[in-house]
Amino acid sequence: MIEVKRLVKVFNGCTVLDDVSIKIEKSECVFIYGPSGAGKSTFLRCLNLLERPASGDIVFAGQNILSPDCDVSKVRQRMGMVCQEFDLFTNYTVLDNITLAPIKLLKKPAEEAINEGCELLERFGIWDKIYSLPCRLSGGQRQCVAIIRALMMSPDVILFDEPTSALDNQMQLGVRDVVRDLCKSGVTIVGTTHNSRFAESVATRMVQMEGGRLV
């Protein structure tokens, strides 16, 4: 599904990713763990093309996404990402946050998108927040909404950057079940974490990153 070859990323002369190669098959659930500053977030951001690597190749679904004629937006629609900062759109309600992309990008009928969104909100136990603005949610609720927002695009791959950093135990169990179901339904997952207990409970493969290298 994703093949990363000899990826190098440099920030101001500092090599953050150093010759990273990994092959991830369809419906695998790979979690990358390692100390803070190891380059985990940077690696995910490169997969999603939020950062341009200095060298190396990323092949996604048979397409080299680093080539200049690749449609970045299309790639991102198929490869969702939940960022570490999970920035919800502050000017939209929870419902609008999660239905904006499917309605505008996938051209889903609004009713269908709203129904799907409500189902997911219910599943995460935050259905009553449907019309709240993000500023009135707790950190954990915000993270859940960010996850739902990514799920709503039904991507082939989801990148999770520290998906449980703000969640309490109950919510972690919810996210764990969702991630497991996603894997079962054929979605490929790449995540980062420093909470190895969560990662172990969902991952089909764990890889360690240290100092910008996979070990």
Partner 1 sequence: MSDLTNSMYGVLVARAGYIALVRAFRDTLVLTCCSAVLGLVVGVLLAFVRVRYRFSGRWRVANRAVICFVQIFRGTPVMLQLLVFGNLWRLSPWLVAILGFGFNSGAYVSEILRASVGEVDSSQYESACVLGFSDYQALRLVVLPQAIKNSVPALLNEFCSLIKETAVAGVVGFQCLAQVATVMNSNSSRAWPYVLVGVLYFIVTLVVSCGLNRIRRAVAAREIRRERLVEKTGVGI
* Binding footprint of partner 1 on the chain (CB under 8 A): 48, 50, 73-74, 76-78, 80-81, 83, 85-91, 95, 100-101, 104-105, 114, 118, 127-128, 130-133, 136, 149-150, 153
| 134 touches, from Mg ion, ligand ADP, partner 1, none (C-beta below 5 to 8 Å by class) | none
With binding defined as CB under 6 A, does residue 97 bind ligand ADP?
A: no
Residue 173 binds which entry of partner 1, ligand ADP, Mg ion, none, with Cβ cut-offs from 5 to 8 Å by kind? none
Question: Residue 40: helix, strand or coil by DSSP?
Answer: helix
- CA-to-CA dists, residue 92 to 101, 121, 133, angstroms: 12, 16, 6
CA–CA separation, 158 vs 144, rounded Å? Answer: 14
Q: Binding to ligand ADP (CB under 6 A): which residues in 13-32?
A: 16
Taking the C-alpha atoms of residue 51 and residue 15, their distance in angstroms, rounded to an integer, is: 13
Q: Which residues inside 40-99 make contact with Mg ion, applying CB under 5 A?
A: 41
- Helix, strand, or coil (residue 10): strand
- Residue 193 interacts with ligand ADP (CB under 6 A): yes or no: no
Tell me the C-alpha distance between 136 and 24, whole Å: 38
- CB of 65 vs partner 1, minimal distance in Å: 13
Nearer to ligand ADP, 54 or 133 (CB): 54
Strand 2-11 with 55-60, pairing: antiparallel
